[in-house]
Amino acid sequence: MKLVRVSLLAALTLGACRVSDNTNNSEGPKTAEATVAPILTTPDAQDLHSYARPREARVTHVALDLSLDFETKRLGGTATLDIDRKADAKEIVLDDNGLEIQSVVDASKQPLPYKVGANDQYRGSPLTIALKPDTKRIVITYKSAPDASALLWLSPEQTAGKKAPFMFSQGESINNRSWIPTQDSPAIRQSWEAAIHVPAGTTVVMSAPRIEQPITQGGESVFNFRMDHSVAPYMIAIAAGDLAFKSLGNRTGVWAEPATINAAANELVDTEKMVAAAEKLYGPYRWGRYDVIVLPPSFPFGGMENPNMTFLTPTFIAGDKSLVSLVAHELAHSWSGNLATNATWNDFWLNEGMTTYAERRIVEELYGKKVADEQVALGVDALDKAVASNGGPGGGDTRLHLDLKGRSADDGTSDIAYEKGAAFLRTIEANVGRERFDAWLKGWFDRHAFQPVTSAIFLADLRQNLIKGDKALEQKLMLDDWVYKPGVPSNLVRPAAAVFAEQDKASTALAGGGTAPQAWANWTTDERLRFLNRLPRKLPKPRLDALQAAYDLNGTQNLEVRFAWLDLAVGSRYDPAVPSLEQFLTSQGRGKFVRPLFKALAKDVQWGRPIAARIYPKARPLYHPLVGRDLDKLGLQTVGKPTPK
């Protein structure tokens, strides 16, 4: 194979060839999307959260033909896998978590022996399939289990419209192995296609272009999708239910339940402009259309960057577009994450830190520097908080590059990845200047489009293409400290105190016994958040009464502001907020909101725990397994008797 020109990076990506012995990998990085994406072979690219051994045999394409059954809560049918293998490979190892496998055959329908290994709490099970010397295609007939961790099945009552059932998936980090038998590692990119059979009247969307109009016959509709780019398997996503569509521009549109579509479309009017702003910064949008779907309130995240189809919580709909930086974030993943993808969950910061940085750049393009500066400052607040809650400046999990050996893949999803990552890039930008940094970042996405990346590849690329041997600059940037050491290096560029001077002054005054500031009425959502977040957690009742009387925080429909208020109320044991808290916890299931509130309540044995124990059984059915299974550990269902209201 020819590796001329690729120099430094080649050393890190050796093995970037197909695993078949006879393949000539003469294509340069430019054509990577047309070939099988590279398998990285350095130790830091070893994915500890997958059983796959891709250097022996790897999946290159997944074709799903699945029926969706709302009654039994199962997706069932076949997964046809194209594989690339060493000639002497005896088996291929896939990832599985609770799949009910009926048969495994080859292209000529001959059975292939297979074995499901022991289940490990963090990875699921290996599914090992014996290969014949000429096996290039495998057909697995299977069903997902009703409690598959990626899937949420909602009854009609749990939707906004209350009429039809709904289901959706969440693949990241390693949940797709609960409904797709494949090699579920972000380092093993695969193209894919799907035919999904549903009861007529149900609409299906996936994270890929729809290749033809749905066909309806005999009470059943079939939807067909195809993703020609190679993507990380966590990016395969599905949602099905009663869905309406509204166009937002030439290449953008929104899907949502009919009950939500108008509010969603109004909030999202800037989407087309966002794509244009992102392209200006980071180069062409390579995925065709950019659509979003606004899911029922059980969606466990703010958003998920599924290619072609960002999944969004309805809780970003504030009525004034003040929370749409969420969309900028998910859109930015179309470059950071979906083009250049963390090879392992140890380098999650490469997905999220870069995206958080890019999100604020897009926000600046659309809404101006003041708005972006405020969001940067809130980000630094979140970073300080994340350092404190991850063991302080010496805490191991405050490193960007993590070692998640023997731990959950999701252990690395703290604000360290998002905010230390973003702060790192901002620090580099401040040192080299915006123009130079932007050019490098755009180049990074080009050089690594449709490929897995690691911290080492990131640093090598920076040194090769930005620092270029400038010793003084290298020293100033403290690159290795940022990536490999705990805490935050001393060269962090902190936002100016002036950004939130007015809010900070008002916070201090209120905490000292002052009145609720009148200026609130003119403050933006971000300014209100800073004000609330800066108040001491144990605020006396008269101060909280004053805030409630002045701004009706119990009733605010801006759910970020409501969360900040409820967090303060719970910390301060403020009884008049409890009905609002109950309504909040039983009407949406966004992990970022419900997790910390239930955790804080449960910890407060005298005041909070009985409240949590009363609310949790009502709230639990709404929550996605990814959130619910975590909160179940608080033992709230079994604690005492419900306390009277």
Q: Could you tell me which stretch among 69-77, 193-201, 346-354, 463-471 binds Zn ion (CB under 5 A)?
A: 346-354
Q: How many residues bind Zn ion (CB under 5 A)?
A: 2
Q: Which of 257, 305, 347, 461 binds ligand BES (CB under 6 A)?
A: 305
Q: Which helix (H) or strand (E) segment is 282 a member of?
A: helix 271-282
Query: Shortest Cβ distance from residue 428 to ligand BES (Å)?
Result: 21
Segment interacting with ligand BES (CB under 6 A) among 301-309, 385-393, 542-550, 610-618: 301-309
584 binds, among Zn ion, ligand BES, none (CB under 5 to 8 A by kind): none
- Residue from 51, 166, 225, 301 touching ligand BES (CB under 6 A): that is 301
Among 173, 191, 308, 533, binds ligand BES (CB under 6 A): 173
Binding-residue pattern over the window 351 to 380 for Zn ion, x denoting contact by CB under 5 A: -x--x-------------------------
Per DSSP bridges, beta strands 451-453 and 340-342 are parallel
For 325, which DSSP code?
H
Please report, as residue ranges, which positions from 407 to 446 form the binding site for ligand BES (by CB under 6 A): 410, 413, 418
The active-site residue out of 305, 330, 365, 374 is 330
Q: Which of residues 344-403 bind ligand BES (CB under 6 A)?
A: 352
Inter-residue contact 180 to 218 (CB < 8 Å)? no
Q: Work out whether 529 is an interface residue with ligand BES (CB under 6 A).
A: no
Structure letter (DSSP) for residue 495: P
Query: Which of 76, 171 has the CB closer to ligand BES?
Result: 171
> Is residue 330 annotated as part of the catalytic site, yes or no?
yes
Phi first, then psi, for residue 368 (nearest 5°) are 100, 165
d(CA 280, CA 285): 10
List the Cα angle 466/472/475 in 5-degree steps: 85
Strands (E), 364-497: 451-453
The listed partner (ligand BES, Zn ion, none) that binds 203, CB under 5 to 8 Å by sort, is none
Q: Looking at this protein, which amino acid is placed at residue 188? A: I
Q: How far is the CB of 330 from ligand BES (least distance, A)?
A: 6
Verify whether residue 142 is a known catalytic residue: no
Comparing CB distances to ligand BES, the nearer of 304 and 535 is 304
Per rule CB under 6 A, count of chain residues that contact ligand BES = 16
Whether the Cβ atoms of residue 185 and residue 54 lie closer than 8 Å to each other: yes
Interface with ligand BES (CB under 6 A), residue from 330, 374, 429, 461:
330
The residues with which 220 forms a beta bridge, in sequence order, are 199, 217
Q: Please, are residues 577 and 552 in contact by the beta-carbon 8 Å criterion?
A: no
Q: Is the peptide bond before 125 cis (omega within 30 degrees of 0)?
A: no
299 binds ligand BES, rule: CB under 6 A = no
Number of helices and strands in the chain (H, E): 20, 21
Binder of residue 563, out of ligand BES, Zn ion, none (CB less than 5 to 8 A by kind) = none
Burial of 501 (0-12, 13-18, 19+ CB in 10 A): exposed
Single out the catalytic residue among 142, 282, 290, 418: 418
Among 81, 274, 304, 383, binds ligand BES (CB under 6 A): 304
> Within a 13 Å sphere around the CA of 208, how many CA atoms are in the beta-carbon half?
28
Rounded Cα distance, 39 and 15, in Å: 6
Q: For ligand BES, give the closer residue by CB, 150 or 256.
A: 150
How far apart (Å, rounded) are the C-alpha atoms in residues 175 and 266? 32
Q: Which is nearer to Zn ion, 168 or 565 (CB)?
A: 168
Whole-number minimum distance, CB 301 to ligand BES, in Å?
3
C-alpha angle with apex 228: 360 to 626, nearest 5 degrees? 55
> According to the binding rule CB under 6 A, does residue 302 interact with ligand BES?
yes
Interacting span for ligand BES (CB under 6 A) from 17-25, 145-153, 302-310, 521-529: 302-310
Residue whose CB is less far from ligand BES, 85 or 562: 562
- Give, for 361, the enclosing helix (H) or strand (E): helix 348-367
| Chain residues 479-518 in contact with ligand BES, contact rule CB under 6 A | none
Note whether 196 and 206 are within 8 A (CB): yes
Residue among 151, 194, 326, 597 that touches ligand BES (CB under 6 A): 326
Map the footprint of ligand BES across residues 133-172, applying CB under 6 A: 172
Q: How far is the CB of 564 from Zn ion (least distance, A)?
A: 21
Closer CB to Zn ion, residue 70 or residue 349?
A: 349
| Shortest distance, position 376 Cβ to ligand BES, whole Å | 14
Distance in Å, CB of 353 to ligand BES, minimum: 10
* Min separation Cβ 374 and ligand BES, Å: 15
Select 76 or 353, whichever has its Cβ closest to ligand BES: 353
Please provide the DSSP assignment of 7-43 as one string.
HHHHHHSTT-S-SSTT------GGGGGGSPPPPP-SG
Question: Is 125:145 a contact under the CB 8 Å cutoff?
Answer: no
> Is 356 or 548 the residue whose CB approaches Zn ion more closely?
356
Q: Report the nearest approach of Zn ion to the CB of residue 304 (Å).
A: 8
Judged by beta carbon, residue 341 or residue 572, the one nearer ligand BES is 341
Distance of CA 593 to the CA centre of its chain: 15
H-state helical runs in 495-571: 501-511, 525-533, 541-551, 559-571
Residue ranges of E strands in 165-232: 166-169, 190-199, 203-206, 215-217, 220-231
Q: How far is CA 335 from the centre of its chain?
A: 14
DSSP character string of 91-144: EEEEEESS-EEEEEEETTS-B--EEE---BTTTBEEEEEE--TT--EEEEEEE-
Q: How far is the CB of 413 from ligand BES (least distance, A)?
A: 4
Interface with ligand BES by CB under 6 A: which range of 94-102, 277-285, 296-304, 450-458? 296-304
- CB of 290 within 8 A of CB of 334? yes
Q: How far apart are CA 211 and CA 226, in angstroms?
A: 6
Residue 410 CB, nearest approach to ligand BES (Å): 6
Pick from 592, 595, 599, 620: which binds ligand BES (CB under 6 A)? 592
- Pairing relation of β-strands 91-96 and 125-130? antiparallel
Smallest gap, in angstroms, from Cβ of residue 121 to ligand BES? 17
Decide whether 348 or 565 has the Cβ nearer to ligand BES.
348
Q: Could you say which of ligand BES, Zn ion, none residue 84 binds, taking C-beta under 5 to 8 angstroms by partner kind?
A: none
Residues in touch with ligand BES (CB under 6 A): 172-173, 301-305, 326, 329-330, 333, 352, 410, 413, 418, 592
Residues in touch with Zn ion (CB under 5 A): 352, 355
Active site residues: 330, 418
